Chain A
Amino acid sequence: MSNSNYSDTWKKPPFIVNPVLRWLIYVGSLVYFALAIGTMEINWTRVAEGLPRGLTLLSKFFPPNLADSRGVIVDGILESIWMAIISTIGGIILSVPIGLGAARNLSPKWVYLFCRSIIGVSRTFPEIILAIFAVKFFGFGPFAGFVALSIGTIGFFAKLLAEDIENMSKSQAEAVKVTGSSWLQWVNYSVQPQVMPRMIGLSLYRLDINFRESAVVGIVGAGGIGAHLLTSVQRYEYDTTATILISIIIIVIALEYTSGYLRKWVQ
């Protein structure tokens, strides 16, 4: 074995092996970020003006002012919570037929395509955009929020339900089918028990999401605490802003823990 002619340098092989591609990606991303930041049009004098305002806002958090306009805030928050609950329920009720329809192994092709496109559209548009239109159609107030969030829930819930049904155990499903059951009996006895526990968990998770959204749909007039938040910011009432934000954070954390706990308990 020769002793001395081993190389004494080593370089880690690059992640992207092709050097042309590698440099293209480096240079490309550099150019992109330069352009992106260059076209941002930052108004520095405005930023400088606003910073003290930001500090004022921050100072209102410590400690928050809990006395003023408490009634209005409590009302708004409760409205958001109820809106979240009812739209989760409404969304799930709508999701079940659509989810069944969107499961390839359950439905004929045209039903499948129809249900999938409903899911696709409601997943693409953020709840806020749905809420804008709901307000146009149904007028201002929590009903519009309810409609928007229910439709948003379909995109989430029906999709996961459909995927769960598509992934369920075939042998169990067939075992019930060969007994000569009707379609509804079949769904009730073989599909439902297999997907039910996870669906309950998911609905609690969705309740969580719906509350976060119900806190903002008010910004476009669809009810809940969002409207008060918007007014308080526009009127420079940072006391109120801070209180609302803290309430939202606390409720979201509480909801997250409760729903996490319930989910464990259910499954």
Chain B
Amino acid sequence: MLRLENVSKRYKTGDLALKNVSLEIPNGQVIALIGPSGAGKSTLIRCVNRLVDATEGKIQLGDTEITSLSSGELRKARRRMGMIFQEYALVERLTVMENVLSGRLGYVNFWQSLFRKFPKKDVKEAYRLLDRVGLMHMADKRADELSGGQRQRVGICRALIQDPEMLLVDEPTASLDPKTSRQIMRLINELCAERGLAAIINIHDVLLAQMFSQRIVGLKEGIIVYDGPPDGLTPEVLTEIYGEEDWEATIEDVDEEDDAPLVEVLK
């Protein structure tokens, strides 16, 4: 269970990105965090693994209070939270396999990481994950040779090999085309279900958010303005979050999708 209590974040520039945010995410729940650009979505998930330090408030993952950890303890805590990035954030000049294995860096020592001598079970798990997302044959390719969708799958593998309790997902589809976006969202969803992972997914595509999450949290100027089920997103709520616009066309039924199975799309 992840619990945020009255979390605020003020940047050095003086901008108040989060204002007293309190949020509770039970184990295994996938929530979508929606809101306009600059609403503080990214800041919120970065506060959870402390890539950004919250100015005030407490964040707890299970029994661990993340906000008060020393840097050594923080590294251990970060192993429990896998992060998936907007622009994939793969190290482009490393091979796919190295990128996946880099998810184990929190577990191995300096020499092992220097000589790429990862424990056998890690390597095995890396192959298993790559196979699961359909990129087995790409293991020795350099990350910059991959397409956007393939890179994001590698990013997912890197997060999962940490063996995390939850995923922090920052705009996973922002650089992808609509079809690939859905495949990636479905993949994340399936994997969370398989492993019983909780997840916070930042996303500004409302439709995708509704399709792939159990709960939606709307953020506006650093304040939570909606917290409820996907079908509770009425035009009024969306106006509250994003401002005035014709929302009728955006809201659709969630389960009439019939996409091709994942494997077919992987070239």
Binding site for B on A (CB under 8 A): 1, 3, 6-13
Contacts and interface: CB of A to CB of B under 8 A. Distances in A.
B179 interface: no
B126 A10 contact: yes
Given A13-B95, A13-B140, A8 B120 contact: yes
B-side interface mostly: helix
B123 A8 contact: yes
Given A12-B98, A13-B140, A6 B127 contact: yes
Interface of B: 95, 97-98, 101, 116, 118, 120-121, 123-124, 126-128, 131-132, 139-140
A7 B127 contact: yes
A10 B97 contact: yes
A12 B98 CA distance: 8
Contacts of B131: 1, 6
Given A1-B131, A1-B132, A13-B95, A7 B116 contact: no
A13 B101 CA distance: 15
Given A1-B131, A13-B140, A6 B124 contact: yes
B97 to A, nearest CB: 6
A267 B121 CA distance: 58
A7 B139 CA distance: 12
A3 B121 CA distance: 13
A21 to B, nearest CB: 19
Nearest to B128: A6
5 contacts: A6-B128, A6-B131, A7-B127, A10-B97, A12-B95
Nearest to A6: B127
Nearest to A7: B127
Nearest to A10: B123
B107 to A, nearest CB: 16
Contact of A7 (B95, B101, B123): B123
Nearest to A12: B116
B120 A9 contact: yes
A9 B116 contact: no
B124 A7 contact: yes
A8 B121 contact: yes
A3 to B, nearest CB: 8
Contacts of A1: 131-132
Given A10-B101, A10-B139, 9 more contacts: A6-B128, A6-B131, A7-B127, A8-B120, A8-B124, A10-B127, A11-B116, A12-B95, A12-B97
Q: Which of A1, A3, A13 is most buried by chain B, counting CB atoms within 10 A of its CB? A: A13
Q: Which of A1, A3, A9, A10 is most buried by chain B, counting CB atoms within 10 A of its CB? A: A10
A17 to B, nearest CB: 11
Contacts of B97: 10, 12
Contacts of B123: 7-10
Q: Which of B124, B132, B139 is most buried by chain A, counting CB atoms within 10 A of its CB? A: B124
A12 B116 CA distance: 8
Nearest to B139: A10
A85 B51 CA distance: 52
A25 B97 CA distance: 26
B187 to A, nearest CB: 15
A1 B262 CA distance: 14
Contacts of B126: 10
Nearest to B127: A6
B67 to A, nearest CB: 37
Contacts of B120: 8-9
A28 to B, nearest CB: 24
Nearest to B140: A13
Contacts of B118: 10
A15 to B, nearest CB: 11
Nearest to A4: B124
Contacts of B101: 10
Contacts of A11: 116
A8 B131 CA distance: 14
A1 B136 CA distance: 13
A29 B101 CA distance: 32
A3 B125 CA distance: 10
Contacts of A12: 95, 97-98, 116
Contacts of B116: 10-12
Nearest to B101: A10
Contacts of B121: 8
Contacts of A10: 97, 101, 116, 118, 123, 126-127, 139
